[in-house]
Amino acid sequence: MTSDYVPSIDLTYETLKGICYDYSALLAGIERSQGIPTKLVKGYSRFVNGYHAWNEVYLNGEWYIVDTTVDSTLKGTSVKVTMVKNNSDYQKVNEY
């Protein structure tokens, strides 16, 4: 991903493909369209080597980390997935 890359939520939805930035942009668009405050966050996660993107979703007065990219890689495996992630597993650099 280059520093000037901008995700297209329409393309991600149509192709069902993308990188973490695409997945996070799509979830933010979906949640925001439903009136749910959602951040697109970039930084580091213990689950991914290198720079990463995920979301924070505001529900019942709290922000929760949701990482659709990590969840998608575990689909079809025997690993138990929880939607809400632990803050200690993520290091935020930027949020949008």
Nearest Cα residue to 67 out of 96, 37, 90, 88: 90
- Residue percentage of the chain with pLDDT more than 70: 97
**22 band by pLDDT with thresholds 50, 70 and 90:** very high
If one counts every other C-beta atom within 10 angstroms of the C-beta of residue 51, the result is 13
Fold of 9-95: C8orf32 fold (3.10.620)
Mean residue pLDDT of the chain comes to 93
What's the pTM value of the predicted model, to 2 decimals?
0.88
More confident call, 76 vs 46:
46
The whole-number pLDDT of residue 1 equals: 56
**77 band by pLDDT with thresholds 50, 70 and 90:** confident
**80 band by pLDDT with thresholds 50, 70 and 90:** confident
Q: Using alpha carbons only, what angle is made at residue 32 by residues 16 and 63, rounded to the nearest 5 degrees?
A: 105
Question: What is the Cα 94 distance to its own chain's centre?
Answer: 13
Q: How far is CA 85 from CA 7, 17, 20, 22, 66, in A?
A: 23, 22, 15, 19, 6
If one counts every other C-beta atom within 10 angstroms of the C-beta of residue 43, the result is 14
